[in-house]
Structure 1
């Protein structure tokens, strides 16, 4: 029988976490925590996705509209520095920076059991040494469990963020009567030292009823968010006692204690304290079994849709497996664990509420790096690359809702900043769906493609689900993004291009300049044209599906530049064949049409794309976790599984923390999501119409021994299970909700017999299973 120790849906350790970076994440999409799992004093770092500094802003620079023509003329004349200077003065927002995500608070649980890591100056417990310690995160259920023995007593703690009751739940038990004793403190202050407690960043701490606390804090700035945390406890045992004094809850002589944490903000509710207390009062009387079973039933049903194996697992602690992999030891199960972890993190950070930020929902800093915002020139998009193919469409919905709000703000930005119709967003957004430029960095700030790229996610959801009701709802947002560019694009040499533009976040060498100089702003980057081809194609096809006019979108589509191949055989990054300043740049923006898009539809472009990747990698590209993940996706789309695996190995060796969080560095969650998407892309691909499904398109040699993956989805609303052994496909199961015909493709060497392409007829609602023997005829 399999245990959690030899499954690839469990992280486990034989020691407590020393720091936040080693703690284990739990979340219900909106409310989350990092669980340290220490024995002397445990700590939960709390987060809630709407805890942001300040309030909404309108930041449009009033000079932008009047300067646009001058900036364009300077770029046309090659006066790049002057154009960048004028843009910095007239398009940069006032203020330049958006609001940022914030840390909610801490719960400290004082047990006095043994000595925790980094507490060597604290005397050991008089009761003796902690033995048989174990800490694990079950990805299947979303539950962290800590167990250990002390002085003949077995202690067990369980933590989860309920997807049903909207609260964090902690259960503390002992196998002997009256041995659960602890003090609970609620704090909001110092966050660097895992053991310090400095309460300085909240407004009030109230004792509510018996054994409950309520903390309130205003998050600063005009129209600031108000956040509240409510904590309560219930105890079991003949001599159990629950009390509170001095802002601390004390539990004595219990056999079992259940702690419930609720957190709310004024972003969601007019009276967050009333809602938080209501959730607390609703959950506290429930039994542990009720709280646990309703949560795990919902969480597991979503997580279990996809199962994957690459062979036997190693029954070793997760940190030991990482060290083995870094030293060159093979561990295919660790790849599966990371694939599953990405799905777990997406459920835990996106099942409800707001989209996953640069760190999902888990953040320890009051002033986080990059503001822990939504960076929409790759990072937010990468967060949701696995959503459809890995059968997590409900996790995509929080992004769609945010795009819907962005379209409202973006319409005002388009009008006020550029004098255009439709809607626009730049390279960042925040909790209030702000769409104005962020910072004053020419290689990023003045890029107008953020909203257009996000619209690809709306279209992908339609392609994967074939849900015309969804398309009808969101089609005006797609066309609104396109309408902005109908007004904003300029014609140069018979082509419609974006100006000003950039290739995020790269720069190029200005031709014929002495001494050499670099520029960022340009006319018509390749990235822009590729995104617009995807957007306008979606508008045209969407119009045909919904039977509405599309001529204006078709006219623009016909005049957009196509990807060009430069004199060195690589994809051109700019409209002119400029030389990049950084030959190993981390962004692959000029390959967006290869992945996640579809613009690279011929062998010449794919060959040039491969040369582009080889050039970038040779010169040091992929030096962040998300960049390395994008490399995996790109090589997978090219069908080069061995190259993709090289970058998976590099990812594991260089960009995985002890708790498997991807490190930029520092921690940035998009790498986890991009890796999961890349692994799925290696095993199953579908064309943009869902008419062609490619089985095992990038299966690397090292994975050929045996494996299976069940539950993946394709465009065209197809569910696929597949298995292979000894380098040969053994089973493909296909399920469609509608009767349809499609083409399945596979490399002939992966078949037991037959040709590498077969046309398959599917009946509605009936699963069809193919073996590794493929006839060259229709299968019905």
Structure 2
């Protein structure tokens, strides 16, 4: 069988790190690019967050909760948001300005400068090995990969290697002082950054060990000169301080690039190769510029493979940030932390369905490390037990980022939404130990918050629908955002399920579910984004990048089985998608993932296909890395979202039912390795106008109902 797209070639030459080719092992990242006579590799590390503003206590607004609720029920939404900021500033003057989380920064750039710029240029990326190259054909070739086996960036120069090697900080001014020291010696380059605002991270070191064959190396003027070598191998590593002892010190790693690549490819290739998609494309290594220009199924196939490669390469001990594991700046957009009101969920959305459940575990590791801060948020903001997750985190989980416009302290759905990832991990793997020891404790603390937070009528007040405001309103603050209702209903339903799996009683959580508000269907027929209590009017605003109110349709649809609600959800998809098709809607690509997942779960083939088409044609560059806006802002959210959407269009699972091709627009194709709930593995799914054939495994101990488009008619 043709194994599908396994990489790409590109003609684009750039001096901009945002257009670079990527390689990574989750811990270390490498951005590979070049301009003029230079070849550059910008290095990064998953823990390299620059300490800027220290965390402070979340605002103590529990004491004014009755006042906030009175303002909200009176329709004074902006005033309620302003009161939070006023109380916060009275508590700590640090809240006078918007406080951001610590940013993920680039560690440094290693530049090889050739004497002149030869004619011709090409670059390539191999998804199966993580090897990226750039070359001047017949003159010089650079190969780069990041070893999972030895946690080292391997850079090899082949050909006429005569030039200089230099290691320097990334360009720009850091937002907090960093003191740099550099070393150039005949066999190595080093760059050390010392942070003046020391907290968990005090600084870092980039070390490059340089080995030349057939030539000589000479240090001088802060650079390393290379003369007449036929091959130069560089072993590079970023170490964040304080750091544990390295199991593989650089000076003990044999600089055999071919052997290092074989050891790495065995690990990386297993992760990257667990799913294969074929939609009719024939080029095993297409030119990315040509694919992006012509679109169609071949582009979907290529983007699916490139997106999975990016996410696999950016998961290490931590999950992917907004920029994965890569950074070439001191000031990344939104600090490139973990944005938990949609971005992180999109980035990891495809990990279970595409057969890499172990890559979801770092999400849980991160959340559990931040639990003390989440508990402080719940107590300080609302006087509640349990946990309250903020929208932005990196080195801490304190609720420090909010303001009168972006009133993020009113968003309480985060822990409930993240609980879905816990339950889905169990549902895909069947790991009862994980359900008992990790999922159930997190889900319980999430639910305990809502036991205390809901008012006497079961309302969510305050509430917030990221990042939308009602039509004609003056603020994003609200009562009863549909996302809040849906996420908590989902959490409590899964808690009841989990207690059943563990033979525990669940009456407490069923009683809490019964307190929740009902969904609201707007007079125009769509599921409303808000379900306010009597006396409040909140009109829908469909001209918005988020689609948080479609939460009931993103996962399994048991919570939204009512035909009237499904019809309202379908109309909401159509209304929001109509805006996205407009010329002005060119930002925040993961909103299209939200639309597409809802459409696929609702069996809306045309709409799911339209959302996917907008994703793959608007938000990818020649380096086959996604952007946040159309051709703007290096961002990996939809690198997770596109595979999740394609998987949802091909396989839908709920309980003991498996629907094949629920929203498939392609007349023929094949996919191997998708995973469904209840531990089902779709070893192979092939379809054509002649019929559908599937090979399933993992469900031998239970009865499974399988449907196809033909049997559902």
Q: Same fold (TM over 0.5)?
A: yes
Of 356, 377, 387, the residue aligned with 2:341 is 377
Deviation at 1:428, TM superposition (A): 1.4
Count of aligned positions: 690
Of 485, 500, 506, the residue aligned with 1:529 is 485
**Hey, what does 2:644 align to over in structure 1?**
677
**Hey, what does 2:163 align to over in structure 1?**
182
**Hey, what does 2:586 align to over in structure 1?**
623
Specify the SS of the correspondent of 1:255.
strand
Say which is worse superposed, 289-298 or 633-642, in terms of deviation: 633-642
Contact 1:166–1:279, Cα closer than 8 Å, also in 2: no
Specify the SS of the correspondent of 2:504.
coil
Pair 1:547-2:507 in alignment: no
CA distance in structure 1 between the partners assigned to 2:344 and 2:640 by the alignment: 10
Pair 1:337-2:302 in alignment: yes
CA distance in structure 2 between the partners assigned to 1:357 and 1:253 by the alignment: 41
Of 528, 542, 547, the residue aligned with 1:583 is 542
Q: Where does 1:583-732 land on structure 2 (aligned, <5 Å)? A: 583-596=542-555, 598=557, 599-620=559-580, 623-624=586-587, 625-665=589-629, 666-687=633-654, 689=655, 691-700=656-665, 703-704=666-667, 706-732=668-694
CA-to-aligned-CA distance 1:498-549 (integer Å, 9 cap, x gap): 211111111114xxxxxx6533212221110100011111222212222334
Specify the SS of the correspondent of 1:740.
coil
Say which is worse superposed, 396-405 or 359-368, in terms of deviation: 359-368
- RMSD over aligned CA atoms reads 2.5
Aligned CA distance change for structure 1 residues 723 and 222 (closer, same or farther; 3 Å): closer
**Runs of 5+ unmatched residues, structure 1:** 115-128, 193-199, 326-330, 510-515, 749-754, 758-780
Contact 1:188–1:202, Cα closer than 8 Å, also in 2: no
**Runs of 5+ unmatched residues, structure 2:** none
Aligned CA distance change for structure 1 residues 608 and 14 (closer, same or farther; 3 Å): same
Pair 1:217-2:193 in alignment: yes
Aligned CA distance change for structure 1 residues 57 and 462 (closer, same or farther; 3 Å): farther
**Hey, what does 1:761 align to over in structure 2?**
none
Specify the SS of the correspondent of 1:258.
strand
Pair 1:78-2:75 in alignment: yes
Aligned CA distance change for structure 1 residues 411 and 136 (closer, same or farther; 3 Å): same
CA distance in structure 2 between the partners assigned to 1:517 and 1:287 by the alignment: 63
Contact 1:262–1:279, Cα closer than 8 Å, also in 2: no
Which has the higher Rg, Structure 1 or Structure 2?
1
Contact 1:231–1:262, Cα closer than 8 Å, also in 2: yes
**Hey, what does 2:9 align to over in structure 1?**
12
Of 128, 132, 137, the residue aligned with 1:149 is 137
Deviation at 1:307, TM superposition (A): 0.7
CA distance in structure 1 between the partners assigned to 2:163 and 2:642 by the alignment: 40
Larger RCO (alpha carbons 8 Å, 6+ apart): 2
Aligned CA distance change for structure 1 residues 647 and 541 (closer, same or farther; 3 Å): closer
CA distance in structure 2 between the partners assigned to 1:427 and 1:505 by the alignment: 11
**Hey, what does 1:305 align to over in structure 2?**
274
CA distance in structure 2 between the partners assigned to 1:573 and 1:333 by the alignment: 36
Say which is worse superposed, 654-663 or 338-347, in terms of deviation: 654-663
**Hey, what does 1:260 align to over in structure 2?**
235
CA-to-aligned-CA distance 1:71-118 (integer Å, 9 cap, x gap): 01221233323312212222578444222222221111112242xxxx
Of 695, 702, 713, the residue aligned with 1:733 is 695
Specify the SS of the correspondent of 2:627.
coil
Specify the SS of the correspondent of 2:78.
helix
**Hey, what does 1:752 align to over in structure 2?**
none
Of 19, 22, 25, the residue aligned with 1:25 is 22
Pair 1:567-2:523 in alignment: yes
Pair 1:500-2:462 in alignment: yes
Contact 1:375–1:427, Cα closer than 8 Å, also in 2: yes
Q: Where does 1:731-770 land on structure 2 (aligned, <5 Å)? A: 731-736=693-698, 739-748=701-710, 755-756=711-712
Contact 2:620–2:626, Cα closer than 8 Å, also in 1: yes
Deviation at 1:573, TM superposition (A): 1.3
CA distance in structure 2 between the partners assigned to 1:641 and 1:280 by the alignment: 52
Q: Where does 1:384-533 land on structure 2 (aligned, <5 Å)? A: 384-474=348-438, 475-492=440-457, 496-509=458-471, 517-533=473-489
CA-to-aligned-CA distance 1:700-734 (integer Å, 9 cap, x gap): 1xx10x21000000001111034445424342000
Contact 2:235–2:255, Cα closer than 8 Å, also in 1: no
CA distance in structure 2 between the partners assigned to 1:138 and 1:39 by the alignment: 24
CA distance in structure 2 between the partners assigned to 1:620 and 1:737 by the alignment: 39
TM-score if structure 2 supplies the norm length?
A: 0.91
